[in-house]
Amino acid sequence: MTTVFLAGGFGKMGRAIQQLIATESDLQLVGILAHAPSDSDVPVFTSLADINVTADVWVDVTRPDVAFDNGKYALQHGFNLVVGTSGLQEAQVKQLAKVSEDNGQSTLIVPNFSLSGVLLMQFAAQAAKYLPDAEILEIHNPKKVDAPSGTARATAQAIAQAREQTPVTTNHEDAARGDEIAGVPVHAMRLPGYVAEEEVVFGAPGETLRIKQTSFTRESFMGGVALAIRRVNTIEGLQTGLDKVL
């Protein structure tokens, strides 16, 4: 039995994870961290100082402004850590890596729990070896607080690392060209009706390639969440990406 503590348990993602854990015979929810008291069959805490339970895995699906402190607390109190909150800064990730190493705990940061999202990143990296010119469009619901998304950032970095040629389009100074991450233009849209969608568009003389992934419901993330919870203890230190436990 793997015990789980859930931070952000009453947001849309948190409620979906609660339902997931309730259906899995080898997972047990033992506590929730929330911004306000809520009815639950397990203890609900509204501050880190009040937590008086332990678990094998801390799952964080909160907000970027609190996920870092939550992560440090978890690692310093014997939890392995799964972070599904995007928007952490590079310096914060480095600090979590050090805390993870210092305390002998495992940390998995997951930009996207969807298997198809992971495959999109892998396919995009493969294509970038041959088609260096690429741009990313990502669309999420209006309540997503960070833009571009963690998935788009990870995809851009994967494309940049895989490139074997210099892209033709290297001037992205115009604001209309979107944000630039690792030399890849990224365009973020926030619209009602969407859960998560990402498309990578590659261009070359006389041809284009488009790779697109769409999550219609949060159910698409639950298989990845369960996998991360069950396998986070198989990694050393801090790793990024669901592919690290596939």
Strands 27-33 and 44-45, bridge-based pairing: parallel
Which pLDDT score, from 0 to 100, does residue 177 have? 81
169 — pLDDT class (breaks 50, 70, 90): confident
- Which of 72, 144, 212, 244 is catalytic? The answer is 144
Which pLDDT score, from 0 to 100, does residue 86 have? 83
Edge to edge, what strands does the sheet with 80-83 contain?
Answer: 44-45, 27-33, 2-7, 57-60, 80-83, 107-109, 238-240
Any catalytic annotation for residue 12?
no
Average pLDDT over residues 164-191: 87
Contact 69, 60 (CB under 8 A): no
Any catalytic annotation for residue 144?
yes
Give the number of C-alpha atoms closer than 13 A to the C-alpha of residue 218, restricted to the C-beta side: 14
- Which of 72, 140, 172, 212 is catalytic? The answer is 140
Which pLDDT score, from 0 to 100, does residue 171 have? 64
